[in-house]
Structure 1
């Protein structure tokens, strides 16, 4: 089951999201009892009606520059298997990247993997603020509200951010099937998750690969670091979750690894 949250923001008399546009946030399995809270910063690739597809053909929005391919399907399957809450973003990372500080230029990139994004050229401060208010703020607020609810109820929470990556970037192959990103704060769970994946014996596991978690990341640092929350950012290679059957298989694999890592940390 999924629920929608909608925020109507008025910036200089103009609302970015029209009545025809879906909510920027979807919450799957909102009553989930698991300690895992799953999030999907780049799970959607829609563009608000008023932004006219950012001037891009549909094929560009279907590429990795438009979203994290496979996560929109994998996330609900994993949430169901774990009985976890999954909070996901609806709109393309090209409209606004919810895993970036909104003050950064690449939060609304003019160019992404060599593709020029016409609708992001020379944005005004007002236009940028409208995207932040209508899309990023509701998404981050939904995560914060769920964490606050769980804290008030005395629930343990492990924050798990789901992402995917291309098999190659600019013709350079990426050998990892899965990566776990971590940096500051409580990194014990992330390290236990790397070990759980490695014990499977059939995976090349990236430790802060193909990306490292650093000052560019926004969501996990915002919600996990200061509170000392256990967390992990998972990257799954996109060719491995390209079909529904693949997503089902990887939901099972991820659920097993997450459970094993949690058990390992609990055993201390």
Structure 2
């Protein structure tokens, strides 16, 4: 990476008082200047293949409403997907939702290692450092994501979804609250199921014995400022209620 390229990590409200630690694996869409845009067009970089649309702004709003720390990735998931295990083919995909990524074709081991060292590792290290500072303090890891309303021709009916592994009391409480508000538009392990492809939550929550939430919000709901404010208000209320059940 060039010295003028942005930092791979952006931290809002470090040390925030809320017990929720917010993270955004796919919040950014920057590309290091030396990668020539990965051979993609600006229009490609505006779509869901490049980033989780709306998550950066949603996370900032939740951080302010909750007094929570928010740690987000600056670079596009196409450069390296921080929610995939190092070495997994999907970490630097050659094709995403039918779009070929020219800058990822035939990457050698040295190039892959450089991306991990320059982008993936600083992001994960920042999360680990914040969790280390909170040692002994109750913390719940909240991973914010967004999903495209239509995928491979299928119109997704959910407004939000909670991804989990049937091992999270906090996720269960948030899901119940969302279902009370949204009915069937709140997805249980929809539009994805949390499984072995997920990296960041298991990497940090499991060794520390932390509860977690992996939350998906449909992108059209948070693509604009008004929607971001509306969803942030709703989520702040429900997340606080889930922290203090009963």
Into which bin does the TM-score normalised by the smaller protein fall? over 0.9
**What pairs with 1:30-49 in structure 2 (closer than 5 Å)?**
30-49=14-33
CA offset digits 1:196-236 (Å, max 9, x no partner): 11222466111110000000000001111232211000000
TM-score, length-normalised on structure 1? 0.90
Q: Which residue number corresponds to residue 195 of structure 2?
A: 214
Alignment of 1:178 with 2:164, yes or no, is no
2:98 to 89, 114, 119: 114
CA distance in 1, matches of 2:207, 2:14: 25
Q: Any stretches of 5+ residues in structure 2 without a counterpart?
A: none
- Choose between structure 1 and 2 for higher RCO, CA contacts under 8 A separated by at least 6 residues: 2
1:247 to 197, 208, 228: 228
Q: What is the CA-CA distance between 1:35 and the residue it aligns to? A: 0.3
Q: How many residues align?
A: 246
Q: What is the CA-CA distance between 1:242 and the residue it aligns to? A: 1.2
CA distance in 1, matches of 2:240, 2:185: 19
CA offset digits 1:34-75 (Å, max 9, x no partner): 000000000000000000100101110110000000001111
Is the contact between residue 15 and residue 130 of structure 2 (CA under 8 Å) also seen in structure 1?
no
Q: Any stretches of 5+ residues in structure 1 without a counterpart?
A: 1-16
Alignment of 1:131 with 2:126, yes or no, is no
2:8 to 24, 33, 57: 24
Q: Which residue number corresponds to residue 34 of structure 2?
A: 50
Q: Which residue number corresponds to residue 175 of structure 2?
A: 194
TM-score, length-normalised on structure 2? 0.98
Is the contact between residue 71 and residue 162 of structure 1 (CA under 8 Å) also seen in structure 2?
yes
Q: Which residue number corresponds to residue 185 of structure 2?
A: 204
**What pairs with 1:7-18 in structure 2 (closer than 5 Å)?**
17-18=1-2
